[in-house]
A and B are shown apart, each in its own frame.
Chain A
């Protein structure tokens, strides 16, 4: 009877998790649908691509042909329906600016560049932020803590495009250590990755610091010290393992925001990723690419949030049981 009850409880919990997951997926899909409407309307209400893509002295014949070719003469709802129907099949049309390129294909072609840059930025964030946060907590109130706090404050105060330009001038122009812009070698990625990562390092370091401070005051930490466990084991094994829950849950948001937040930095560093595509497509009124890139970003963000939600479920039994 006891075993049966336990099995039932387990099944019930699995069902609850699946239900939770299905609800989150459904709400994500609904959000995606809403995003398609917003993106479609905003891109169409903000100006006519005719005026961005045809010369000032274009003839009426040219304008008419362009409008006809791109279906811009149809009612907006009809254009949206066509767009949505095609989008479901992954067809976002062909780029107006990068002629002949499939819109979503073009965006996805740029994704590795963004992932490469984002990956390096995430790596930098984690590698720098965790030790920094731990050090700030362990040496609370010392110059090390103050320096870490100052570092975090700077990172969260500086606009990343400004930081990017400063980095270019210091490391490329004055010191001549790294290339100013473009993509090619790992050296090209260092400065833009720093420009993206600094803000996230600050956020992650502060979270780690506060979580560590809480944990370091816990009874079991005191017990470990009393038992003669070495300080490094206490900090890095016992304290950090428990404190890491907070930064870990933030990690999903961090990953998504680094990817989507690279838009400006990719433009500053002329890094040919999705962010760069987004800016160039908006400038060129390239509707198909604008729609494709925003949907791609939305999907990335939603997947990240979904992963974070699932992490919460895995970590926090209260959510699972709810």
Chain B
């Protein structure tokens, strides 16, 4: 027996020695990416919903850095600027005709020639085809486009669209492809390597894994990134992205809030967009404010059909606490979802009243519930809260859980309903939704557009809360072109939403990215795109 033991007695030492030797060899062989060349920037993010070089066949979640839109967003303020293909623009008096003048020196990468009005018209045509899935594309589909001259295009719209620039900026409803490339290579050319006019050139993709772009030398805009290559890696697991950042394999990663904190504690830098990238809320579904809402469902039986219950729900929430848990410090509560100080319709009065009317007051909440006869007076007293997640919004599940905890304190019954985002959407679109669900507005739409989508029957009828007054104001807004009157109408709508406690507003949130503090000095981006990220050329390396 002793003999047998002696055969193995040296094993642990040998194993340890072998492991150290293997590690030394692996490290020396440079198999780890930690010591990666500084001229290649790697950004690791969640995989995209659709993986395609044909932008219009995606929902517009990611604009390639090689591609450009007509209108840009200033990196520091988020305001529209001429950093993309349009040098200037103008509109007629009633906002039904928009004319864009292209930069005369704009050109496509890969020797596909100058960017002209013909390229814009061609891109417009492919973006508005049957296979287009882009967010916001329905507005462009109603437009007609005319090439006025080589460098001027005009969009004519059937009704006033004061927010037309939004479609052409970070929202990216129209990305400009090369007509010359299409004529030479057909759609296959785009599928293989679409030529763009941005400061990067498309190099290739590993399907579902990564996208790579190289930097253009002497780009027509004069922009000159300080690195040679940028690679986007799609990595589903947040912990893996965090590890990539920590191991020096990635320069920047997107992380959920809890891991962002861990990363910051570990010495990495969290960078936020210069402007709000997203608004979040929890929406009551159904036409609960419609006194005659029997058309599609029995909305009146929901507890939240009673304004006192809706106010009690809002009063029961300690938003400061919730927002700190969900988003961290520095994130502000939002008075009205879709209202934003950058856009017309903003009401300082509502912002000022927010604490008084929506502040944390459990006693008031309980008194309101008692007055409403809750729960006995309601057929459906329990409020189903949707526990879900959405790419870019990992905090949604926790949001529902926190709301549930606060509602429970004041005696509001809840039912946690775990469902994926698409299932919720199916119910909403099918007019069968009977829950309270987290929702986001990203990129932050112009208020006039957002309020129509989320509260009226004008843009997305399935989200219509059914209030006759809000719908009436929304209908007037569609045809109103006078800026002052539009502002007034919007403020009227926001006031009605606010006073009627028509939703549970949460926060205006900047886009965040975590960068490796040993590799990246800074990066300024406005949070104006769907993903929140943009202006990759401004990544400042150490």
- A144, B6: Cα distance in complex, Å: 12
Q: How far is the CB of A193 from chain B (nearest CB, A)?
A: 15
Q: How far is the CB of A67 from chain B (nearest CB, A)?
A: 11
Q: How far is the CB of A144 from chain B (nearest CB, A)?
A: 6
- A51, B22: Cα distance in complex, Å: 49
Query: Within 8 Å CB of A92, what residues of B?
Result: none
Stretch at the interface among A73-81, A247-255, A267-275, A303-311: A267-275
- A279, B421: Cα distance in complex, Å: 15
Residue B150 CB within 8 A of the other chain: no
Residue A59 CB within 8 A of the other chain: yes
Scan residues 53-86 of chain B and give those whose CB is less than 8 A from a CB of chain A.
54, 57, 59-60
Which residue, of A57, A99, A135, A270, has the highest number of chain B Cβ atoms within 10 A? A57
| B244 and A99 contacting across the interface, CB-CB below 8 Å | no
| A270 and B59 contacting across the interface, CB-CB below 8 Å | no
| A57 and B459 contacting across the interface, CB-CB below 8 Å | yes
Query: Within 8 Å CB of B50, what residues of A?
Result: 53, 96-97, 99, 284
Residue B138 CB within 8 A of the other chain: yes
Task: Give the A interface residue count (CB, 8 A).
Answer: 60
Residue A234 CB within 8 A of the other chain: no
| A272 and B206 contacting across the interface, CB-CB below 8 Å | yes
Residue B246 CB within 8 A of the other chain: yes
Kindly report which residue of chain B lies nearest to residue A268, judged by CB atoms: B237
- A177, B207: Cα distance in complex, Å: 27
| A51 and B136 contacting across the interface, CB-CB below 8 Å | no
- A106, B453: Cα distance in complex, Å: 37
- A155, B222: Cα distance in complex, Å: 57
| B32 and A55 contacting across the interface, CB-CB below 8 Å | no
Query: Within 8 Å CB of A279, what residues of B?
Result: 236
Query: Within 8 Å CB of B31, what residues of A?
Result: 177-179, 185, 187
Residue B26 CB within 8 A of the other chain: yes
Stretch at the interface among A1-9, A118-126, A167-175: A167-175
The 8 Å CB contact of A176, one of B8, B47, B54, B247, is B247
Residue A15 CB within 8 A of the other chain: no
Query: Within 8 Å CB of A55, what residues of B?
Result: 59-60, 133-136
The 8 Å CB contact of A98, one of B8, B136, B208, is B208
Stretch at the interface among A41-49, A236-244, A291-299: A41-49
- A224, B299: Cα distance in complex, Å: 84
Q: How far is the CB of B311 from chain A (nearest CB, A)?
A: 27
| A178 and B26 contacting across the interface, CB-CB below 8 Å | yes
Query: Within 8 Å CB of A178, what residues of B?
Result: 26, 31-32
Query: Within 8 Å CB of A59, what residues of B?
Result: 137-138, 141
The 8 Å CB contact of B27, one of A53, A54, A177, A270, is A177
- A284, B132: Cα distance in complex, Å: 17
Kindly report which residue of chain B lies nearest to residue A101, judged by CB atoms: B207
| B59 and A135 contacting across the interface, CB-CB below 8 Å | no
The 8 Å CB contact of B49, one of A48, A50, A52, A58, is A52
The 8 Å CB contact of A165, one of B34, B134, B141, B240, is B240
Query: Within 8 Å CB of A144, what residues of B?
Result: 5, 8
Residue A199 CB within 8 A of the other chain: no
Query: Within 8 Å CB of A63, what residues of B?
Result: 429
Q: How far is the CB of A71 from chain B (nearest CB, A)?
A: 15
Query: Within 8 Å CB of A269, what residues of B?
Result: 240
Q: How far is the CB of A234 from chain B (nearest CB, A)?
A: 12
Scan residues 372-424 of chain B and give those whose CB is less than 8 A from a CB of chain A.
420-424
Residue B130 CB within 8 A of the other chain: yes
The 8 Å CB contact of A100, one of B8, B191, B209, B460, is B191
- A56, B421: Cα distance in complex, Å: 11
Residue A280 CB within 8 A of the other chain: yes
Q: How far is the CB of A285 from chain B (nearest CB, A)?
A: 6
| B233 and A58 contacting across the interface, CB-CB below 8 Å | no
Residue A321 CB within 8 A of the other chain: no
Q: How far is the CB of A175 from chain B (nearest CB, A)?
A: 6
| B32 and A176 contacting across the interface, CB-CB below 8 Å | yes
Kindly report which residue of chain B lies nearest to residue A142, judged by CB atoms: B5
Query: Within 8 Å CB of B424, what residues of A?
Result: 51
- A304, B447: Cα distance in complex, Å: 59
Residue B239 CB within 8 A of the other chain: yes
- A101, B54: Cα distance in complex, Å: 13
| A179 and B460 contacting across the interface, CB-CB below 8 Å | no
Using an 8 Å CB-CB cutoff, how does the interface string of B96-112 with A read, 1 for contact, 0 for none? 00000000000000000
- A125, B408: Cα distance in complex, Å: 50
Q: How far is the CB of B117 from chain A (nearest CB, A)?
A: 27
| B138 and A139 contacting across the interface, CB-CB below 8 Å | no
Using an 8 Å CB-CB cutoff, how does the interface string of B189-205 with A read, 1 for contact, 0 for none? 00100000000000000
Kindly report which residue of chain A lies nearest to residue B439, judged by CB atoms: A56
| B206 and A57 contacting across the interface, CB-CB below 8 Å | no
Query: Within 8 Å CB of A285, what residues of B?
Result: 422
Residue B235 CB within 8 A of the other chain: yes
Q: How far is the CB of B194 from chain A (nearest CB, A)?
A: 13
- A57, B233: Cα distance in complex, Å: 28
The 8 Å CB contact of A58, one of B133, B235, B247, is B133
**24 interchain pairs (CB within 8 A)?**
A46-B423, A49-B422, A50-B426, A51-B426, A55-B60, A58-B138, A66-B133, A98-B51, A139-B5, A144-B8, A165-B240, A172-B32, A177-B32, A179-B31, A180-B243, A181-B244, A267-B237, A268-B237, A270-B233, A280-B47, A280-B236, A283-B236, A284-B50, A285-B422
| Interfacial residues, chain B to chain A (CB-CB below 8 A) | 4-5, 8, 22-23, 26-27, 31-34, 47, 49-52, 54, 57, 59-60, 130, 132-138, 141, 191, 206-209, 233-237, 239-240, 243-244, 246-247, 249, 420-426, 429, 453, 459-460
9 A-B pairs closest in CB distance: A51-B425, A55-B135, A59-B138, A187-B31, A52-B422, A51-B422, A55-B59, A47-B423, A47-B422
Knowing that A100-B191, A165-B239, A279-B236 touch, tell me 9 more A-B residue pairs with CB under 8 angstroms: A53-B50, A53-B59, A56-B460, A98-B52, A172-B243, A173-B243, A179-B32, A268-B240, A284-B50
